[in-house]
C-alpha cells in the first residue's frame, strides 16, 4: 500500500513576523452554519457543519447540477421540450413553491431550469426530473450518483424537490457547500446564466390572464456586493435555510445556514454572515492559475516525475488585520504516483499552515500527461533499481 508522502517544504517569504490577529467571533441562532473561502479552501466558520439535516429546497441545487452535467456533456440540449404530465400537475400545481405550469404544457429545459433555480418551483423540478430520467425515482438515482462523484459523503437524495419524505433526503452544510462549489467551478457559464437572476416570469393568472412574475428569494442578492447565488429552502421540519455565494475582488465565499426560525431571520443572518466573511477575513495570493508549485515522483511511467501546478488561483486566508508571519507550505500525495496520469488530474494537495495554526488545503493537478512506460522502459527502470541508481 502506498503511504502519503510529504514533499517540498516550501516557505512563503513575508514581512517580519508580528502578532497574528484573531478574527472576531461570529455567533448565530442558526442551528447549522458554515462558511468557506473558495480561493484558499479555508473554513472560516463551522457550526455543526456535518450534522445530518433535511435540505428542503436547497436539494434543488442537486437537481440543477444533474442537468448542468448533462448539458455540459451534450446529452441534454437547453432547447429540449418537456411535457407537463397531468399527474405531475395535479400533485404539484399548488404544493409549495410553483412555476405555475399548465397541464400538457411544453416547456424547454432552459425555462424549467429558471423555474427550479429562480422560482424554486416544485412543479418545475419534477417535470425536469421526469424529462431527464423518465421518473423522479430514476432521477434521484442520478442525483445520488453525482453526489458520490462530487465527494458529498453524507448526503442522500430521494426526490428532486427537497419535499419532506420522512427523513429519506438528508445532507449536511459541508456537502451543500461542496455542491455549490461544483456548480460555480465546473459550470461557470451555466451558473451565471441561471443563478443570480432577480426574477422570472412564467404562467398566467386566472381570469385576467396576466403574466406572473416572481422574485428570487435569495436574501443576499442585490444586497451584498458580488452576490450571485444560490438557493433558499424552507419546511416546517428543516426551518429556514440558505446556501449562498458572493465574489468580491476575486475572492469568493460560499455560506450555508440552516435551522433558522423565520423568513426575516434568514435574511438578517445570511447578510450578516456573508458580510462578516469579507470584513473579518482577508486573502493573500500564493500562486497564479497554472503556476508550477512542485513535482511528484511517478512509478512505471515514461517520466519519473510530473510537475504539479495550481488548477486555479491559490490564496491563503488570514483574519483581517493580521500582518507578518510565515505560513508554511508542503505538498502531500499518495506516492509514488502510478502511471498513467491524465493532464489536469488532481494528484496532490498543497497544505498551508498559517501562523495561528490553521490548516488550509488546496488541490494540485498534473501539468502534463504521463503514460505508462513500455517494455524497455520498465526493463531499464528495473535495472537501475537493481544497481541502486533509481
Q: Could you list the active site residues?
A: 57, 60, 120
Nearest CA to 123 out of 101, 103, 138, 104 is that of: 101
Q: How far is CA 70 from CA 63, 64, 79, 334, in A?
A: 11, 10, 13, 32
Q: Give the bridge partners for 372, in sequence order.
A: 301
DSSP β-ladder status, 292-299 and 337-338: parallel
CB 20 within 8 A of CB 322: yes
Query: Helix, strand, or coil here: 150?
Result: helix
For 3-20, letters b (16+ CB in 10 Å) and e give eeeebeeeeeeeeeeeeb
Cα–Cα dist 76/66, whole Å: 10
Cα 167–233–44 angle (5° rounding)?
A: 100
> Residue 344: left if φ>0, alpha if ψ -120 to 50, beta else—which one?
left
Amino acid at each position: 500500500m502506498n503511504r502519503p508522502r510529504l514533499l517540498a517544504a516550501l516557505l512563503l517569504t513575508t514581512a517580519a513576523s508580528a502578532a497574528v490577529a484573531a478574527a472576531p467571533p461570529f455567533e448565530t441562532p442558526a442551528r447549522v452554519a458554515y462558511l468557506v473561502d473558495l480561493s484558499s479552501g479555508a473554513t472560516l466558520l463551522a457550526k455543526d457543519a456535518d450534522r445530518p439535516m433535511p435540505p428542503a429546497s436547497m436539494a434543488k441545487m442537486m437537481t440543477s447540477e444533474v442537468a448542468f452535467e448533462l448539458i455540459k456533456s451534450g446529452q441534454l440540449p437547453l432547447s429540449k421540450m418537456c411535457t407537463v404530465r397531468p399527474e405531475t400537475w395535479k400533485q404539484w400545481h399548488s404544493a409549495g413553491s410553483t412555476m405555475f405550469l399548465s397541464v400538457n404544457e411544453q416547456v424547454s429545459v432552459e425555462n424549467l431550469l429558471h423555474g427550479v433555480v429562480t422560482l424554486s418551483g416544485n412543479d418545475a423540478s419534477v417535470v425536469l426530473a421526469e424529462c431527464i430520467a423518465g421518473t423522479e425515482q430514476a432521477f434521484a438515482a442520478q442525483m445520488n450518483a453525482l453526489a458520490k462523484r462530487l465527494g458529498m459523503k453524507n448526503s442522500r437524495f430521494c426526490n428532486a424537490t427537497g419535499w419532506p419524505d420522512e427523513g429519506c433526503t438528508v445532507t449536511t452544510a459541508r456537502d451543500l457547500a461542496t455542491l455549490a462549489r461544483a456548480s460555480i467551478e465546473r459550470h461557470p457559464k451555466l451558473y451565471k446564466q441561471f443563478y443570480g437572476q432577480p426574477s422570472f416570469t412564467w404562467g398566467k393568472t386566472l381570469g385576467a390572464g396576466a403574466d406572473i412574475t416572481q422574485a428570487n428569494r435569495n436574501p443576499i442578492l442585490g444586497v451584498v456586493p458580488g452576490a450571485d447565488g444560490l438557493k433558499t429552502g424552507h419546511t416546517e421540519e428543516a426551518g429556514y435555510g440558505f446556501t449562498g455565494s458572493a465574489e468580491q475582488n476575486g475572492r469568493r465565499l460560499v455560506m450555508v445556514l440552516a435551522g433558522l426560525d423565520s423568513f426575516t431571520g434568514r435574511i438578517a443572518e445570511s447578510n450578516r454572515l456573508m458580510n462578516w466573511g469579507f470584513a473579518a477575513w482577508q486573502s493573500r495570493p500564493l500562486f497564479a492559475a497554472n503556476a508550477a508549485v512542485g513535482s511528484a515522483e511517478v512509478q512505471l511511467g515514461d517520466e519519473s516525475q510530473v510537475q504539479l501546478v495550481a488548477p486555479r488561483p491559490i490564496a491563503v486566508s488570514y483574519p483581517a488585520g493580521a500582518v507578518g508571519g510565515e505560513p508554511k507550505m508542503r505538498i502531500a500525495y499518495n506516492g509514488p504516483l502510478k502511471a498513467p496520469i491524465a493532464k489536469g488530474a488532481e494528484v496532490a494537495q498543497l497544505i498551508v499552515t498559517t501562523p495561528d495554526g490553521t490548516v488550509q488545503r488546496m488541490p494540485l493537478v498534473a501539468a502534463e500527461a504521463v503514460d505508462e512506460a513500455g517494455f524497455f522502459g520498465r526493463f531499464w527502470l528495473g535495472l537501475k533499481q537493481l544497481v541502486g541508481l533509481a
